[in-house]
Amino acid sequence: MRQAKYFGKFEEYSEAIGYVRVSTSKQGRSGLGLEAQREAISQFAERECITIIECFEEVETGKGWDALDRRPVLREALAKAKQRQCPIIVSKLDRLSRDVHFISGLMAQRVPFMVAELGADTDPFLLHLFAALAEKERALISQRTKDALARKIAAGVPLGNRTNLAEAQRLGAAANIRAARQFSATVAPVIEQLRRSGTGTLSGIASGLERLGIRTARGGTWTPMQVKRVMAYAEQNDLA
């Protein structure tokens, strides 16, 4: 039986509902991603001495604040969890949604959620924080892509012409500096949270960012050196 704190009080849970989701019908037919999610939930529940009484499976988008209206299986899982007074377990936070407002709406349902990769002690406040950081990161990546394309078009650069790469890099230098500052301001609080939780090494922080599903500024995986650079940049620019 697992004891966890939700909504300001401690509750003990011996059972839970599992929820897995993919966003395309092709993935649903192939089972791509679903089996890995079920395995992550199963391993987490076993470690926490929790019995999964039912696992709900859905093929639907997670986009938009109103995504719950388009996800009948999740609504069914919520109803079941309320009936059994138990939490819902997902493998990763983005299996619920990539939208912070949607996550806030789920918290209002008063059904506890456990995220396998974040651990059983992650309370609603931290779930909100992680969702907000992930949403901000995606917005920055999307905006940088749009800005880069707009600059190339405005400068008359033929898209796909690598002979103009140097000119495109020159035009994008100032925007890249702004993007680096924004990205560091987004990630620095997470790094600080990991340090306060006892993660003292650069390798440990890199692993923690990976577990949270946070990508580097270029969408890659974290290394100790990249963590060190973000920390140094944040300190130099008073972003920590």
Q: Which two tokens stand for residue 44?
A: 């987490």
Which residues are marked as active site? 23
Residue 175 · residue 147 · CB < 8 Å: yes
Instruction: Quote the percentage of the chain above a pLDDT of 90.
Output: 21
pLDDT confidence bin for 9, thresholds 50/70/90: very low
Banded pLDDT at 78 (limits 50, 70, 90): very high
Give the Cα separation of 23 and 120 in Å (integer). Answer: 25
Helix, coil or strand: residue 88: strand
Q: Looking at this protein, which amino acid is placed at residue 221?
A: T
Q: Domain map of the chain by residue range? A: 15-122, 166-239
Q: Residue 88 forms beta bridges with which residues?
A: 17, 113
* pLDDT, average across residues 51-76: 81
Considering only CA atoms, which of 177, 191, 186, 98 is closest in space to residue 144? 177
pTM above 0.85, yes or no: no
pLDDT for residue 46: 94
User: Taking residues 121-130, what's their average pLDDT?
Assistant: 77
Q: What does pLDDT average to over the chain? A: 77
Question: 12-57: per-residue pLDDT in tens?
Answer: 789 999 999 987 655 555 555 888 999 999 999 999 999 999 999 9
User: Looking at the domain 15-122, which fold is it?
Assistant: Rossmann fold (3.40.50)
**How many angstroms separate the CA atoms of 108 and 70, rounded?**
18
Residue with tokens 């963590």: 227
In 3D, which of 235, 134, 126, 118 has the Cα closest to residue 188? 235
Mean pLDDT of 184-194: 79
User: Could you give the CA distance from residue 162 to residue 32 in angstroms, rounded to a whole number?
Assistant: 35
What tens digit of pLDDT does each residue of 88-117 get? 999 998 888 877 778 888 887 888 899 998
High-pLDDT (> 70) share of the chain, %: 69
Q: Is the pLDDT higher at 86 or at 210?
A: 86
Q: Is 60 exceeded by the pLDDT of residue 239?
A: no
Spatial distance between the Cα atoms of 172 and 107, rounded to a whole number of angstroms: 40
**Rounded CA separation 157/130 (Å):** 38
